[in-house]
Structure 1
Amino acid sequence: MGKVVLVTGVARQLGGRFVRRIQRDPEVDRVVAVDAVRPEHHLGGADFVQADIRQPTIARVLAESGADTVVHLDVTGTPLGGGRPSLKETNVIGTMQLLGACQKSPNIRRLVVKSSTNVYGSASRDPAVFTESTPPKSLPSGGFAKDTVEVEGYVRGFARRRPDVAVCVLRFANILGPAADSPLASYFALPVLPTVFGYDPRLQFVHEDDVIDVLRIGAHEPRRGTLNSGTFNIAGDGVLLLSQCSRRLGRPTVPLLLPAVTWAGSLMRTLGMSDFSPEQIRLLTHGRVVATDQMRETLGFTPKYSTAETFADFVRSRGPGLLPPETVARAVDRIAALPVPGSGHVPAHGAD
């Protein structure tokens, strides 16, 4: 008999894509797709079960499905409805309920959890590159970043209690692509990008196609010479500066002092324009770069898209910005050449 795979978070585009893809694998006999909301997209031949993972009923769903593999994708920073409180409950309480159900199930052999490089936070004293074992200089204090820290803590506890289960935690960099639905994608969709004056952070992206491929690797038995259990950073090669992103989008930036950016972020959240959270402001101030050696050497995965190629595909899907890229480039260069008050130095900026 083949594998029975239970997938959470299938009402989102990423979850729906993974469900449609994993059921085509010859090793998979059945896919059980779970979400509290009925998806608007099709799920192929998967069996959809409408269930809220925050409720104890998920244990019955798991038991009745006979699943031996669980892929937990219902950990996200963008609510489908209900706002931030409901999202936090799904991320944290939902994960606790799901892990409790997995702990009781004698059938479970593999658990794959979608996490985020947000667990490292973003701070001025951060190392140039985070590895999977690098502790954050300051733990995230709220939002999705704090959720992911809590989720990973519960997953580590589960792994200790069920050493017979192969547990794979995938820490994704910012996911972008034509169907990307994330706070950062919403930020890049703004007609004008507010930035923190004097900072040009380094950013990493991972393409949604690569996300699907690496989730498949985590859900299957490892190939010879690889080990698909453990914690892995997942990101495309290279980095982009925020100024380079604005050039390629053709969108002008408005450099603001940090208090003004914080105020603007609060206003945009209130108006529903973008989830410009404090953690995203820290990312757009200090940036974040992670090492992906373990992804390649241990997990055996090489992304098809680099960070730059991922962003280029995202830009193509969104259409041109307000201004031609060359006009934005000249404006960004002039802004970047301005001295930072009181610092005595010129902010760094990158050329395409």
Structure 2
Amino acid sequence: MPVRRGETLTVDRSPDAPGTVVVTGISRPLGARVAARLAADPRIRRVVGVDAVEPGPELVALLGGVERVLADLGSASTIIADLHAEAVVHLAVLTAPDQQHGGRTAMKEQNVIGTMQLLAACQQAPRLRKLVIRSSTAAYGASFRDPAVFTEETEPREVPRGGFARDILDIEGYVRGFRRRRPEITATVLRFAPFVGSTIDTTLTRYFAQPVVPTVLGRDPRLQFVHVDDALEVLHRSVTEEHGGTYNVAGAGVLALSQAIRRAGRVAVPVLEPGLSAAAGFARSLSVGRYGFDQVDLFVHGRVVDTTRLINEYGFTPRSTAAAFDDFISGHAGGTVVRADQLAAAEQAILDGIRRVRAAVEERS
């Protein structure tokens, strides 16, 4: 049963017992699966999941071995102190505004302010030995000035347009400050490529699950993915092993967007970039989520990262981008059938976008 803020937590304070791990973000599949996996590890004495939102019934069933605390990140200092936590895994990072009531404002509050509050709590935790932070390859941004491959030392060539990417840069900046203040703590930042898999449901997987997939005319970006099971393995090892530093986490190799669409058995609809937002409106009508600048820039420029550091330090090689994407396809075979009226609406949205572009060009000339 969850323990609500203000209730007493009973803590086994035996110095010989394995450490306690706190996992944030357990109301979402990634956080719940990480917490459940850690709870099943006999080397870990206790796993406590923290979230301001109750997990859904399917995740509650998964969290049988995890103690749950219903509280926001602002209460982290009390929780971490009461639990004498030795490790914190921060996964309560939102990737899109529609994941939280309140839109972009609430998303930034959770990602940036929430992480800052959590790190302040960790700084005051005397028994803390490990901190694992979920980050993203979105930290590198996406622009025409990008290098062919990003390493962990590569700085973004320009400030990303997308809110999620900007949040990630702020989060990593706070972690750098934390490392200077608590250098004895092993702080691990994991920059994940977009997740795929047969069971995962994200904005990106919904994009590829559409029967008609909007693309940007004249662009065929190179993409990388990481299978969610490989992400779980890396997160688990980050807690049970010593791997301080920042790591790119992605599958080897790349898929061009056109290759991925063909591989998924979908139909690409090329549009001018300003028209992609109109096509995304069509996607929303199919209940496949919505796209922001983070996704649009990825579909225009792509992003490829080097994972040599991860492989060398962890002794673990994630499955390739192609293999991860194939597993996603296996779980989404068939897909949604496009009705005639939906296809007509998509064509009209694309034409409207092209007309707006032409009108803008004529005005400038």
- Using the aligned pairs only, state the percent identity: 49
Give per-residue Cα distances to partners, 1:130-166, cap 9 Å, x unaligned: 0000111112133111111111111111111111110
Match of 2:161 among 118, 137, 141: 141
With over 3 angstroms needed to count, the CA separation of the structure-2 counterparts of 1:270 and 1:87, relative to structure 1, is farther
What secondary structure, in the 3-state scheme, does the structure 2 residue paired with 1:7 have?
A: strand
Give per-residue Cα distances to partners, 1:229-267, cap 9 Å, x unaligned: 000000011111111111111110110011211443467
Match of 1:314 among 328, 337, 342: 328
With over 3 angstroms needed to count, the CA separation of the structure-2 counterparts of 1:270 and 1:191, relative to structure 1, is closer
Q: Which residue number in structure 1 is paired with residue 313 of structure 2?
A: 298
5+ residue gaps, structure 1, are: 223-227, 324-352
Calculate the aligned-residue CA RMSD, in Å. Answer: 1.8
Shift of 1:268: 5.2
Match of 2:201 among 181, 191, 199: 181
- 1 CA distance for matches of 2:285 and 2:154? 35
Q: Which residue number in structure 1 is paired with residue 114 of structure 2?
A: 94
Letter matched to residue 306 of structure 1: S
Kept after mapping to 1: 8 A contact 2:20/2:86:
yes
With over 3 angstroms needed to count, the CA separation of the structure-2 counterparts of 1:268 and 1:322, relative to structure 1, is closer
Q: Which residue number in structure 2 is paired with residue 8 of structure 1?
A: 24
Q: Which residue number in structure 1 is paired with residue 342 of structure 2?
A: none
Shift of 1:322: 6.7
Aligned length: 315
Kept after mapping to 2: 8 A contact 1:266/1:277:
no
Does residue 145 of structure 2 align to residue 125 of structure 1?
yes
Kept after mapping to 1: 8 A contact 2:222/2:304:
yes
- 2 CA distance for matches of 1:190 and 1:5? 39
- 2 CA distance for matches of 1:290 and 1:182? 21
Deviation larger for 77-86 or 58-67: 77-86
Q: Which residue number in structure 1 is paired with residue 348 of structure 2?
A: none
What secondary structure, in the 3-state scheme, does the structure 2 residue paired with 1:150 have?
A: helix
Deviation larger for 18-27 or 120-129: 18-27
Kept after mapping to 2: 8 A contact 1:5/1:30:
yes
Q: Which residue number in structure 1 is paired with residue 237 of structure 2?
A: 217
Kept after mapping to 1: 8 A contact 2:40/2:65:
no
What secondary structure, in the 3-state scheme, does the structure 1 residue paired with 2:166 have?
A: helix
Match of 1:29 among 45, 66, 70: 45
Q: Which residue number in structure 2 is paired with residue 348 of structure 1?
A: none
Q: Which residue number in structure 1 is paired with residue 9 of structure 2?
A: none
Q: Which residue number in structure 2 is paired with residue 64 of structure 1?
A: 82
- 2 CA distance for matches of 1:267 and 1:245? 20
With over 3 angstroms needed to count, the CA separation of the structure-2 counterparts of 1:39 and 1:90, relative to structure 1, is same
- 2 CA distance for matches of 1:122 and 1:157? 25
Letter matched to residue 62 of structure 1: I
Give per-residue Cα distances to partners, 1:81-140, cap 9 Å, x unaligned: 303322221111110110010011101110000100000011111100000001111121
Kept after mapping to 2: 8 A contact 1:77/1:182:
no
What secondary structure, in the 3-state scheme, does the structure 1 residue paired with 2:45 have?
A: strand
- 2 CA distance for matches of 1:210 and 1:273? 25
- 1 CA distance for matches of 2:217 and 2:87? 47
- 1 CA distance for matches of 2:80 and 2:99? 23
Match of 2:182 among 162, 167, 189: 162
Kept after mapping to 2: 8 A contact 1:121/1:139:
yes
With over 3 angstroms needed to count, the CA separation of the structure-2 counterparts of 1:132 and 1:249, relative to structure 1, is same
- 2 CA distance for matches of 1:287 and 1:96? 30
- 2 CA distance for matches of 1:265 and 1:126? 25
Kept after mapping to 2: 8 A contact 1:32/1:48:
yes
What secondary structure, in the 3-state scheme, does the structure 2 residue paired with 1:28 have?
A: coil
Kept after mapping to 1: 8 A contact 2:162/2:292:
no
Shift of 1:169: 0.2
Shift of 1:272: 6.5
Q: Which residue number in structure 1 is paired with residue 36 of structure 2?
A: 20
Give per-residue Cα distances to partners, 1:1-40, cap 9 Å, x unaligned: 1021000011111111111111121210000001111112
